[in-house]
Amino acid sequence: MRVIVVNSRTDVQTLGTRLGKDRTGQAFETIEKLNPHVDFTRVEPGTVILVPDPPRAADAADDKDDKDRSIQGRAFDDLREIVSSGLEASSARVRRGYEALSAEAKDVTAALKSAPVKRAVDADPELKAQLESAAAVFKQDTADAKNADQTLKSMKDRMDEELNALSKLLG
């Protein structure tokens, strides 16, 4: 089984021509069954299509002229790299946000410990309630940032597992 990544917008006739198949033929029915996720009336760039192996070696030579790339080789590695770098970039943004949030919380805490602010807070119950509410928001934001980072780590681990399994499946 081959996996191709469509690199240009196409329709079913063009795709069928590239694959050497006729829409009415048995082979195209097999392709449609293998790809229930694809709308063959309008195939968008980036669409991944499973294609049965060609019955003869001559068909493989035609693939060199195809605009699409076989998943075997660099395309699969490119996919792995794109997904990994995207998740790593997201994790880095979450960590930077968490670090900025932590620095802000320390600055606010230091300011609130000053004698003039303590006197103002003690004298105004409404201000005290607002500060308690702000502290709760800081605490929740910190928990959310930690959860987001953990979720992204879990996603990366799961993605690695799935791509390794797919790699073994594709050979």
Residue 132 structure tokens: 């308690």
55-59: average pLDDT: 50
Rg (CA), the chain: 28
Structural domains counted in the chain:
2
| Whole-prediction pTM | 0.48
Q: Which residues are within 8 A (CB) of 38 and not within 5 positions of it... i.e. 6 or more apart? A: 32, 47, 49
Residue 132 in contact with residue 70, Cβ under 8 Å?
Answer: no
Same domain, 112 and 166: yes
Same domain, 93 and 52: no
Banded pLDDT at 123 (limits 50, 70, 90):
very high
**Segments forming the whole domain that contains residue 142:** 73-170
Kindly list the distances between the CA atom of residue 60 and the CA atoms of 46, 63, 106, in Å, as whole numbers in the listed order: 22, 5, 64
Predicted local distance difference test score (pLDDT) of residue 60: 45
Nearest to 104 by CA among 56, 128, 138, 144: 138
Predicted local distance difference test score (pLDDT) of residue 147: 92
The residue among 168 and 143 whose pLDDT is bigger is: 143
Predicted local distance difference test score (pLDDT) of residue 61: 47
